[in-house]
Every structure is written in structure tokens, then in C-alpha cells.
Amino acid sequence: MLTIQTPEAVMFWFLAPLSVIAALGMLLVKKAVHSALLLAWVMITLAIFYIAQDALFLGIVQIVVYTGAVMMLFLFILMLVGVDASDSLTETIPGLRPIAITAALGFGGLLVSLIGRAKLGHDAYGLTAANSEGNVQGLAQLLFSTYVWPFEVVSSLLITAALGAMVLAHHQRAVPRATQREQAIARFRGASLGSAAGLPNPGVFARHNAVDVPALLPDGSAAPNSISATLKARGDMLDSAQFELGEVDNTVTEEK
């Protein structure tokens, strides 16, 4: 018969409810960062349970690989990309939500069925034999002998998933990248307002903000020193009369 020590029972009844609450919170919280942190707590709790059941190697791998590497990768991606709570929930693939709900219900029913058939009060079968020469040695013996075929199949699936993710994430550029000279030419010769110097700052009343347009003085006349002498010599300066402002009936209008 399986004998449960008091410290192990106290640890389980203390951590198990917290793990369940964290798992539910992971699904219900609005911010993705909070969900990732709750998932990290669930993984750490599972690692503690593994260690308490004499599965030392599995518990350390749970912390180092999943909590230390995978979860940190999730957090870095969230910090770099950013996920807003107001993102659209519209399905990109029609009918995906009913399929996901059906799969979740089926998986939940399978878990309930397995738990219902479990026999409580007995020692874990094979645990003592697996750990007779050490937990790592016993786990390696089972993976590379009895369960070598499922182990290789799972490895192939993971490799295929990684390659598929890289193929889907890679995209071929339809047009070549513009060089710095081409970008400068487009900036100076573009039709948009302020193509060379950028748009005016917020709150500034200006019809144009290019380098070849003279600045206006408080009285509405053009400032003679606001245009580069090089542009003046080339004759590239625009006529300032069309940009001068005049006050008519207490309103500021553009002179024609």
C-alpha cells in the first residue's frame, strides 16, 4: 500500500489549489503578460510535484527547460511584439472556434475517464524499478528501449513543426528594397507636404514645411534668411507670395 507522509500531503493540499487557481486565471486574465506569468507558476508547481514523487530529473527539466527557457521566450516575444487587450477576436479561419471547443470537450472527457479508472491507494507501478539505478538512468533506459519508437515519432513531429513555423514566417520580398539614394530622391521630390523636412509639429498652422519654402514672419511676410543660399543660387526657391498670410475681417487667410 502507498503511504503518504504528512509533509507531502500538506504540500499537495497547499500547492494543488493554487495551481488550479493559477491555471484558471491564465485563461481568464485580460493581459497576455499576466497569463504567461501564471503559466510559469503552474509549471513550477508541477516541477515540485515531480520532485516529490521521486522524479528528480523530470522536475529539474520542467524548471530549466519549460519555465526557464520556453516561458522566458514567451515573455520576450510579448515585450517585443506587444499584445493589446483590444485586439480583434474575429476568426481568421471560419469554423475554427467550434472545432476548438469540440476538441477541448473531448480532451476533457478523456481526462475525466482516465482519472475515473485510476486505482488509488496503490504504489506507482514500476517507479521503484525505474529508480533502482537512479532516476536519470531509469528514465533513459525506458526512453531508448521500451518507448524508443514513440520518442522518435514525437521528435520528428517537433522538428516538422519547427520547420513549418520557419517556412510560414518567411516571406519573399515582392519588390527590391529601396536604397538610401532612392529614398532621399523620393523624399525631396515627393508630392506629399513636407516631404524633405517632415510635417509641421502639432498645433502649428502651416500649409507647407519643405526646405524650399520660406518661413513666415509674425506679420505674414516671408523671412529672407530662412532659405538656404544654395537653393537661392539654383533658383529652386518657391515664390513666397503664395504662402504669405494676410488678415481680412479678423481672420487669417492665404493671399492669392
Cβ atoms of 49 and 20 within 8 Å: the answer is: no
Q: Which of 15-29, 48-62, 93-107, 238-252 has the lowest mean pLDDT?
A: 238-252
Q: Which of 113, 138, 169 is the last residue of a domain?
A: 169
* Judgement on whether residues 68 and 142 belong to the same structural domain of the protein: no
- Residue 119 belongs to a domain: no
Q: Which of 38-42, 123-127, 186-190, 214-218 has the lowest mean pLDDT?
A: 123-127
- Residue 54 belongs to a domain: yes
Q: Which of 83, 112, 138 is the last residue of a domain?
A: 83
Query: How many structural domains is the chain composed of?
Result: 3
Q: What is the pTM of this model?
A: 0.48
* Judgement on whether residues 78 and 135 belong to the same structural domain of the protein: no
CATH number, domain of 28, equals 1.20.120.1200
* Judgement on whether residues 78 and 45 belong to the same structural domain of the protein: yes
Sign of CA dihedral 78, 79, 80, 84: positive
Can you list the pairs that 245-254 forms with residues at least 24 positions away whose Cβ atoms lie under 8 Å? Answer: 245/216, 245/220, 246/220, 247/220, 252/205, 254/207
- Residue 132 belongs to a domain: yes
Amino acid at 72: M
**Category of 159 on φ-ψ map: left (φ > 0), alpha (ψ -120 to 50) or beta:** alpha
Q: Which pLDDT score, from 0 to 100, does residue 122 have? A: 57
* Judgement on whether residues 161 and 225 belong to the same structural domain of the protein: no
243 — pLDDT class (breaks 50, 70, 90): low
The span from the CA of 158 to the CA of 137, in Å, is 24
* Judgement on whether residues 74 and 149 belong to the same structural domain of the protein: no
194 — pLDDT class (breaks 50, 70, 90): very low
* Judgement on whether residues 2 and 78 belong to the same structural domain of the protein: yes
List Cβ neighbours of 8 (8 Å cut-off, separation of 6 or more): 52
Q: What is the mean pLDDT of residues 46-52?
A: 87
Q: Which of 114, 135, 169 is the last residue of a domain?
A: 169
Q: Which of 60-64, 65-69, 119-123, 206-210 has the lowest mean pLDDT?
A: 119-123
pLDDT, tens digit (0-9, with 9 covering 90-100), for 135-186: 777 778 878 888 889 889 988 998 998 888 888 777 777 788 888 888 777 7
- Residue 101 belongs to a domain: no
List Cβ neighbours of 157 (8 Å cut-off, separation of 6 or more): none
In the chain, what are the helix, strand and coil shares in percent, each to the nearest 5? 60, 5, 35
- Residue 69 belongs to a domain: yes
* Judgement on whether residues 58 and 25 belong to the same structural domain of the protein: yes
Residue 21 reports pLDDT greater than 90: yes
- Residue 106 belongs to a domain: no
- Residue 65 belongs to a domain: yes
Length of the chain (residues): 256
Helices (H) and strands (E) in the chain, counts: 10, 2
The span from the CA of 100 to the CA of 112, in Å, is 18
* Judgement on whether residues 132 and 197 belong to the same structural domain of the protein: no
- Residue 17 belongs to a domain: yes
* Domain extent at residue 239: 192-249
